[in-house]
Amino acid sequence: MSRSWGGAPARLRGRSRQCGTVDRLLADVRAGRSRVVVVRGEPGIGKTALLGYAGQSAADSRVARAGGVESEMELPFAALHQLCGPMLDRLDRLPGPQRDALAVAFGLDSGGGPDRFLVGLGVLSLLSEVAMDKPLLCLIDDTQWLDQASAQALAFVARRVDAEPAAVIFGTRDLGAEDDLAGLPDLVLGPLSGADSRELLASAIPGRLDERVRDRIVAESGGNPLALLGFRRGWRGTAGGPDRAEFLAADRFASKDDSAAAAAGSPPNRPATHPCSGELQGALASALAP
């Protein structure tokens, strides 16, 4: 994703409709209305990039972020603490039971497990309090890896945020209707079109790529942005030159940073893990060799 000359973020390649949805959501928030959307899609499809677009488009709002971390899934309220930690200076403005529940949840006070209902109400009140100063945008990425306590609280909030100038945007790999966010408005990111795939590929490759090789890469990527760019990783050089390329398959990516880089038009920062066919490797090496 690049920036336009005016300083506003340029729309993501192949995602004009989805960026338009985000633009309208932010316009509603600026007008004092609440909005929620769940961005769904396979790994590498550009969910993190779309959330990044939203954050960059909300320069006139307060942006709060949290992300699921697989290693923290067993830590209750870990993701909720990411989101609300910077807002805890407002804690004393909440009703007593809600304040106490959040204080226990975030380790600011001792006590048994806090009442989950009061935690949800406390987060809702805290976000409402913050949104009174300026519009609030909450970006929650990788929700498939949220700890269960945070997932329940954030879903509770998303279903009740109403009269505040606040928006919550979730990003998740879960495509079904069985997660905590089921029933909320969603925005599904599908594969890039053939034309957009070719443009993204061309933006990542120095020089001209043979059309047959290009079309083969586009077909094998399935329109997944990270897969399109992943093949360019994994070069091994001998005698100063590349002799091999590997293709990163579209069905298994773990890094949200890679997903953002892919949709933004930049190569991922991780080496490829799934080799393409020997035939395609040879064609790539021939096409890209100096």
- Return the CATH number at 44: 3.40.50
Quick check: is 211 in a domain? yes
Same domain? 161 vs 265: no
CB atoms under 10 Å from CB of 87, counted, come to: 16
188, 203, 233 - which closes a domain = 188
> 122-163 pLDDT, tens per residue?
999 999 999 999 999 999 999 999 999 999 999 999 999 987
> 56-81 pLDDT, tens per residue?
999 999 999 999 999 999 999 999 99
Range of the domain at 258: 194-288
Same domain? 147 vs 218: no
Count Cα atoms within 13 angstroms, Cβ side, for 215: 3
CB atoms under 10 Å from CB of 264, counted, come to: 21
- Domains contained in the chain, number: 2
Length of the chain counted residue by residue: 290
Query: What pLDDT shows up at residue 138?
Result: 97
Same domain? 27 vs 164: yes
Query: What pLDDT shows up at residue 57?
Result: 95
Query: What pLDDT shows up at residue 258?
Result: 45
Same domain? 216 vs 72: no
Same domain? 235 vs 181: no
> 22-37 pLDDT, tens per residue?
999 999 999 999 999 9
Angle, CA 64 vertex, CA 36 and CA 250 arms, to 5°: 70
Same domain? 53 vs 160: yes
Higher per-residue confidence, 194 vs 286: 194
Between strands 186-188 and 237-238, the pairing is unpaired
Same domain? 182 vs 205: no
Quick check: is 4 in a domain? no
The mean predicted confidence, pLDDT, of the chain is: 81
| Residue 115 pLDDT level (bands cut at 50, 70, 90) | very high
> 183-236 pLDDT, tens per residue?
999 999 999 999 999 988 888 777 777 788 888 888 888 999 998 877 665 433
Q: Which residues contact 176 (CB under 8 A, 6 or more apart)?
A: none
d(CA 131, CA 122): 14
Q: What are phi and psi of 221, to 5 degrees?
A: -75, -25
At residue 281, what is the residue type? Q
Quick check: is 231 in a domain? yes
Q: Is 65 helix (H, G, I), strand (E, B) or coil?
A: strand
Higher per-residue confidence, 106 vs 278: 106
Among 44-53, 159-168, 243-252, 276-285, where is mean pLDDT lowest? 243-252
188, 206, 230 - which closes a domain = 188
